[in-house]
Structure formats: C-alpha cells, structure tokens
Amino acid sequence: MRYLFNHWDRISSRIKNAPRVFLFFDYDGTLTPIVPTPEEARLEPGIKDSIKLLQKNPKFIVAVISGRSLSDIKGMVALKGIIYAGNHGLEILQGSRRILRQGTRLKDSSLKAIYGALRAGLKGVKGARVEDKGCTLSVHFRLVRRAQRDLVKGIFNKIVRPYILSKGIRISSGKMVLEVRPNIDWDKGKAVLRLLAGNKKALPLYIGDDVTDKDGFRVLKKKGISIFVGRPRRDIGADYFLRNPEDVARFIERLLKL
C-alpha cells in the first residue's frame, strides 16, 4: 500500500483525464476523527465547505457511505445534492429518490428480539451501548473498560448465536463496534456498484478507514482508486493510504485545485 501524496502526479493525471469522478467517502474515521461517542463526530466547517464545493463542481459526484443509519448520516453531513448511503448501503438516498432494500427494517421480529436481549444483557456493563439503526443494530463498546470488553463480546456472541445458526442474521465488526445485519447479500461494495451503474464513464474513488470498507475497495480493483485511512495494512486491499482525516482534508483541497 502506497502513501497517496507520494504518487500524486499519477493520481491527479487519472482524475484530470476522467470525464467525471465519483467520490465515495466513509464518514467516521475518514471525514471526521474517531471520537468517544458517535454524536461527537461532527464535520469541521472547513471540510464541510470543501465537500460542498466538490458537489458544485460538475466533474465530481459525491456520496457519503456509512454504517450509520440514513437519517443519522444525512443529519451529520447536512449538505444538499450529495448521495447518502446508510447502514452500509442498505439505505440509499439519491436526490429525492430513496432506495431501501426489502426485508431490512428493524420491525422484523428477529432483530427486535435481539435488540431487547442485548439491551437487557448489557445493562450492567458501564459504557456499553446498543443502537437501533432501523435496518441494523450496533453494540458500541469504546467507553467500556478494557477489562470488560471481552465480557461485552461474550454476551453479544451468546445472544446472536442462535440467530446466526438459523441464518436469520449476519454479524460484522468494526472499530469498537459489533453489528447485527439482515442476512442478505448486500454490503458497501454492492452499494457502490449500484450507484456506479448509472455513471459507467465516471472514475470511481473510494476512501474509508475500517474493515467494512474492504468491500468498497474490492469492487474497485482495476476499475478505480481505493484509499485507506490509517496505518497501511496488507489485508485491507486498498491501492493507497492516507494517515488520518487531516490528510483526507488535504486530499480534498488538492481535488479542488485540479
């Protein structure tokens, strides 16, 4: 994995020569630093203004694709004209057109039961939080004492195991978060391909910081540019890396100057 700014001439040439560029940004850890609670991850005014300028440039199509719910990520970014994909692409809002994968709402009895069991099971663990995201569930444990994090994982695994065995759900993990998803063949990568279907001539560029972004990196192999945010990892599958959200902000500024 190569440091992006050491190869800027090559990357900028590809971007300049492309008729359009489709930019996919993860949110937490990419556009904002990782913070103790999700509510604290607010966009800095400077990067928000830069994304707004990108969106106004006809060369760029901008999408924010996140594990947050659609309403949450839209509220956090709060910019008109960009595409929002929440719950790892299970919910997509493109202009006034809302795309929701069928059979994914939390009203499903299995997800409701899991939500209740997790809330009860983790009630006594200080710092543990169960989040209802409409289509999915998340257990956040960043604020849990290190000595109790294995306890959180154990409670989680015990509760979800019967539902995994019955193939009713899928589980995944990220940075200090455990997730319950509907058992359907859908992820960030498939959401990216869905959005690219109507923009086949655009150069796709995906930036993300977590293991859930590997699906986005994978589908862009030999098709676009994939950028990991954080320390370079061989297993992540991206072409380039940026060190942190500050580097991402610098990258966006360079895009605006092309």
pLDDT in tens, 74-83: 999 999 999 9
User: What per-residue confidence (pLDDT) applies to 58?
Assistant: 95
User: What per-residue confidence (pLDDT) applies to 106?
Assistant: 47
> Which residue in the block uniquely carries the two structure tokens 């509760």?
159
Residue positions annotated with a catalytic role: 26
Would the pTM count as exceeding 0.85?
yes
- Percent of all residues in the chain with a pLDDT value above 90, rounded to a whole number: 79
Beta strand 240-242 with 83-86 is unpaired
User: What per-residue confidence (pLDDT) applies to 8?
Assistant: 98
176 versus 38: which is more confidently predicted?
176
Domain ranges, ordered by start, for the chain: 2-101+186-257, 109-182
Domain 109-182 -> CATH class:
alpha beta
171, 114 in Cβ contact below 8 A? no
Beta-ladder partners of 181: 170
CA-based end-to-end distance of the chain: 24
In which region does residue 127 sit, left (phi positive, over 0), alpha (psi from -120 to 50) or beta (all else)? left
Q: Does domain 2-101+186-257 have CATH number 3.40.50.2300?
A: no
Task: Calculate mean pLDDT across residues 41-60.
Answer: 95
Q: Distance between CA atoms of 4 and 74, rounded to whole angstroms?
A: 28
In which region does residue 140 sit, left (phi positive, over 0), alpha (psi from -120 to 50) or beta (all else)? beta
Instruction: State the number of CA atoms in the 13 A half-sphere of 146 facing the CB.
Output: 0
The tokens for 254 are: 């360079």
**CA dihedral (169, 66, 177, 123) positive or negative:** negative
Please name the residues in contact with 110: beta carbons below 8 A apart, sequence gap of 6 or more. 163, 168, 169
Task: Indicate if the pLDDT at residue 105 is higher than 60.
Answer: no
